Amino acid sequence: MCFETIRTALYSSVVLLGMAISVPAHAENNLEKQVSEGIKLAGGGEVGTAEYFITEHKWPAHLSDVYTTAAERPAGIYVASVSGKGEGDTYVIQAVMRSDKYVLRALKGKSLVMWTTDGGNTWHCGTTGELGVSGTINRSLLPQSCRE
């Protein structure tokens, strides 16, 4: 009888330990998936925007003129909207995360940006407030390649 109790206790401990390890890994995977969608959807507007600037010598009045995803609401599973604005050689594409139950609390309603300061020749990814974007995702939650 005592052996059976010890065996049950050990089995329960192993199951609980496995759950404790898998829950953070699952949350981290969801975070990466949700942030990646924001980066992908914001980055999708780069080519059309740059081509428009090269041919028209100005930025599009609306990002949706060159990138149809920008007209969709919601823009993705985790992204509420993608928008853009430009001035001079600078253009900013902003992806705003949804605020519903599908999005992790740390990302709800927050945004990330892609921007160019040289007419679309090079693009950067991050959460810069210098470009007039507020409510951005905490830099530590972005992939290393998107922390400018």
- The predicted pLDDT at position 132 comes to 64
Of 43, 8, 33, nearest to 124 (Cα)? 43
Q: Which of 135, 140, 124, 142 is nearest to 34 (CA)?
A: 142
Give the per-residue pLDDT at 19: 45
Tell me how far CA of residue 130 lies from CA of 6, 39, 103, in angstroms.
60, 19, 26
Domains by residue range for the chain, with CATH: 2-146 (3.30.700.10)
What is the pLDDT at residue 133?
67
| Contact between 127 and 139 (Cβ < 8 Å) | yes
Give the Å distances, CA to CA, from 63 to 59, 60, 102: 9, 6, 26
Tokens of 30: 């969801």
pLDDT of residue 88: 92
Report the distance separating Cα 106 and Cα 54, nearest Å: 37
**What is the pLDDT at residue 25?**
44
pLDDT of residue 129: 59
Backbone angles phi, psi at 106, to 5 degrees: -65, -15
> Looking at the chain, how many residues does it have?
148
Starting at the edge strand that comes first in sequence, how are the strands of the sheet with 111-116 ordered? 79-87, 90-97, 111-116, 124-126
Rounded to two decimals, the pTM is 0.78
- The rounded distance, in Å, linking the Cα atoms of 16 and 116 is 48
pLDDT in tens, the chain (148 residues): 555 655 554 454 444 444 444 444 445 578 889 999 999 999 999 999 999 999 999 999 999 999 998 999 999 999 999 999 999 999 999 999 999 998 999 999 999 999 999 999 999 998 865 566 667 888 888 888 888 7
